[in-house]
Amino acid sequence: QVQLVESGGGSVQAGGSLRLSCTVSGFTHSSNCMGWVRQAPGKEREGVAAIYRAGSNTYYADSVKGRFTISQDNAKNTVYLQMNSLKPEDTAMYYCAADAAGCSGGYRMQAMDFGYWGQGTQVTVSS
């Protein structure tokens, strides 16, 4: 049984930082593409970042490029999302997602086409 467990959400003022973590268990093979997808109330879901774990290639939505960084610790089977210079529009539920296939050059993030999902962690940014 595959499980993705997120942590690290919370409330922060605009300009602040948060780091989200996502630990994967139950994979019998590498979770080749892992990403973060967010959804704010009343808005569509948005894929914000992804990492191809075998090659460490990373992909970002334009809305977060230069502010968010996705990284991994293979020994801990954990992926991180470092979020800096946070804005009120970053407020959303953030979901960790994984797929055994690759990231397809960022397409999987854009399409939010992942086979496994976490339960989500809330990020709230106040102005």
Rounded Cα distance between 102 and 120, Å, is: 22
Other beta carbons within 10 angstroms of residue 44's beta carbon come to 7
What is the separation of C-alpha 55 from the centre of its chain, rounded to a whole number of angstroms? 17
| Helix or strand holding residue 89 (H, E) | none
CA distance linking residue 21 with residue 7, whole number of Å: 5
Give me the mean pLDDT over the 30-38 stretch.
88
| pLDDT tier at 26, thresholds 50, 70, 90 | confident
Model confidence band, residue 88 (pLDDT cutoffs 50, 70, 90): very high
Token reading at 76: 């801990």
> Can you tell me the mean pLDDT for 57-74?
96
pLDDT at 43: 95
Single-letter amino acid code for the residue at 16:
G
